[in-house]
Amino acid sequence: MIQEHLDIQLIAIVTAVACALPGVFLVLRRMTLMSDAISHAILPGIVLAFFLTESLSSPLLILAAAGTGVLTVVFVELLQRTKLVKEDAAIGLTFPALFSIGVILISRFAGNVHLDMDAVLLGELAYAPLNRLDIFGYDVGPVSVYVMGTILLLNLTFILLFYKELKLATFDASLAATLGFAPTLIHYGLMTLVSVTTVGAFDAVGSILVVALIAGPPATAYLITNRLSLMLTLSAIIGSVNAVAGYWLAYLFDVSIAGAIATMTLLVFGLVFLFVPNRGLIAIARRRTRQKWEFAQTMLVIHLFNHEGLPEAEAESEVAHLHEHLRWDPAFAAQVVKYALNNRCVSQEETQLTLTERGRTVAQQALVQ
Amino acid sequence: MIVAIGAALLGAVSGTLGTYAVLRRQSLLGDAISHAALPGIAIAFLLTGSKTPLILVLGAAVAGWLGTLFILSIVRLTRIKYDSALGIILSTFFGFGLVLHTLIQRTGNANQAGLDTFLFGQAATILESDVLTIGILGGIAIVIMLVFWKELKLLVFDEGFAASLGLPIRALDILLTSLLVIAIVLGLQAVGAVLMSAMLVAPAVAARQWTDKLSVMMLLAAGFGALAGVGGTIISSSASRIPTGPTIVLCATVVVGFSIVLAPNRGLLWNRLRYQRNKRNLKMLGGQLFQSEEQ
């Protein structure tokens, strides 16, 4: 039983990391939806290869499906190159058509082969450890771990080998082209990796949730960091955390593991979105309120500064007068005065406001700027 | 017969509203909305315990709408781009729906076919009442669109100008999205979540090739959508074991291919002919210049 827990989590982690690494580049290159397209469009490839091999984990099947994935990318590019169809529409046309062919193939020949539609689309991680690899009669672990492990290694090697090229092609494609780095080649290399990864992962998590693994952790990491290397590391870590947390969520409530991992992905993304310093929703909201009060305070000190030492100063420095002059709501004016008092920019005697030395400096600075 | 009428109506409605999505480069929003609808269906079922289509459709609409709102806020508030926001919401909402679905299955008061129907649709089970629902809701959506015709047109083609005129851009954006949600939710039953995006995109892309005028494009898209609906239904009913939804999508794709190649002015064939004519003219012109130089 413990072995099974470990096996499933191991598969989930390896799959999540394998998906997150190329996902980083997809997110940065604004091509996330290509993974969605590929994961759907490989269906006819899977079906045809399955007719030939009658097994869902044969290497031939992975190759055929990955080939279909690359073909999808080529189709989308060709459609775009006619300049008659925009990129999003090209994607939106290609993958449903290929997917439809796959569905029709399955239902036409469903009687002859055993290919469970749900398994392809939704995957079932719980069954993955049952398919084990035997070497000379020794049970060395689930096949999925080896399949996804190989793919992970492949992704890692590609990224490490072509790190510089990938980085440049991602952030400045034209410079990469000028320097002779062949961004098109990098593009197709990356797309091939995404295809292979998607095919490998669909067995475990299904084709729709692959997108959650590919887009979720990198986008979450993108909220946290500006550095590519850190983003890659963080994506791998976040992917693993999502996988393990998702597994236990699924175990606790006895629900679909892949679905639970996707749910955790959304949850973690939401939490980071809310709480990350500087760029998070809460940080943004706090900065906006602070800016609002700062601005109101500056208005107040400038107003006082303008009339300081003049005959009308006494009337202008009344708290009640602010309503008329700055068009502030009396309640708001009172709050601003309180804020300015706290910052020691003004001092108050009865209803009269006077600038402090500090308030005067603030006003002068604001006016000079 | 009923199925064909339903499919035609559906094609017309999604073709019309899909025009906006394609022109705004939001073709894949349909894909996201249709996937994001799954948890809505599950929650509607969990809350009410009923399987009345209208209640489930309502749940789907709320979830799809919420998902779109999330996507728009992520894009507005962070540096995450539209495509990634779409991908995340699409897949994780769907995953959450899957979790709820397995939860329902475990309690055992739902039939197993629910999820398959959601994914691939069951055009064959369209009833007269469904056609009526599609007609009424689709009709309402199209009437609303016509009422705001001028505003929506401006939003699509020049958002900045629309904003400078004082039009409520965000409200219009949400209105347009809501109309899209209606079209998608109506189509879920017939063609299913995975293929619904094609029903929005394909007729509009095909129509775009034939005209540069929004009103004409919309009428054409509605026509192409209806054509694909009827064609797909007829083909799938003429042979055994050909599912209707995918066939409709393939019909729509054929219409797109036909339009891209043959449409006058923009089409590939037309372009090729124009290129050759220009080449010939240039050659003749070059020959004349050469002669005049010799003289």
Which chain A residues are Cβ-neighbours of B249 within 8 angstroms? 96-97, 100
B25, B137: one domain: yes
CB contact under 8 A, B102 and A262: no
Cβ under 8 Å to A: B residues 224-243 = 241-243
pLDDT at A207: 73
How many angstroms separate the CA atoms of A262 and A205, rounded?
10
A49, A162: one domain: yes
Angle between helices B193-210 and A87-108 in degrees, nearest 10:
130
B171, B273: one domain: no
Q: State the Cα angle at A123 between B89 and A30, rounded to 5°.
A: 35
CATH at A233: 1.10.3470.10
User: Is residue B210 classed as helix, strand or coil in its secondary structure?
Assistant: helix
B24, B9: one domain: yes
CB contact under 8 A, B78 and A223: yes
pLDDT at B113: 47
Which chain A residues are Cβ-neighbours of B84 within 8 angstroms? 27, 30, 32, 215, 218-219, 222
A268, A294: one domain: no
Among the partner-chain residues B83, B84, B119, the one whose CB lies closest to the CB of A121 is B119
User: Is residue B187 classed as helix, strand or coil in its secondary structure?
Assistant: helix
Number of domains composing chain B:
2
A71, A217: one domain: yes
Which chain A residues are Cβ-neighbours of B251 within 8 angstroms? none
A194, A175: one domain: yes
pLDDT at A264: 93
pLDDT at B93: 92
Cβ under 8 Å to A: B residues 171-210 = 194-195, 197-198, 200-202, 204-205, 208-209
pLDDT at B240: 74
**CA distances, B227 to each of B22, B124, B203, B254, B263 (Å):** 19, 17, 9, 11, 17
Question: If chain B, 295 residues long, is cut into consecutive pieces of 10 residues, what is the mean pLDDT of each piece?
Answer: 82 88 86 87 82 79 90 87 90 89 72 61 74 85 89 86 86 86 81 81 89 88 89 83 83 89 83 88 81 68
Looking at the complex, report in whole angstroms how far the Cα of residue B293 sits from the nearest Cα belonging to chain A: 39
Contact B28, A91 (CB under 8 A): yes
Cβ under 8 Å to B: A residues 298-337 = none
Among the partner-chain residues B88, B106, B260, the one whose CB lies closest to the CB of A269 is B88
**CA distances, B254 to each of B232, B258, B261 (Å):** 11, 6, 11
Q: What are phi and psi of A54, to 5 degrees?
A: 55, 30
pLDDT at B101: 83
Residue with tokens 């990796």: A193
CB contact under 8 A, B88 and A99: no
B241, B276: one domain: no
Among the partner-chain residues B84, B97, B99, the one whose CB lies closest to the CB of A215 is B84
pLDDT at B112: 47
- Enclosing domain of residue A204: 2-277
- Enclosing domain of residue B276: 267-295
CB contact under 8 A, A259 and B197: no
A272, A338: one domain: no
B166, B295: one domain: no
Intervals of chain A under pLDDT 70: 1, 55-57, 110-124, 126-127, 133-137, 140, 369
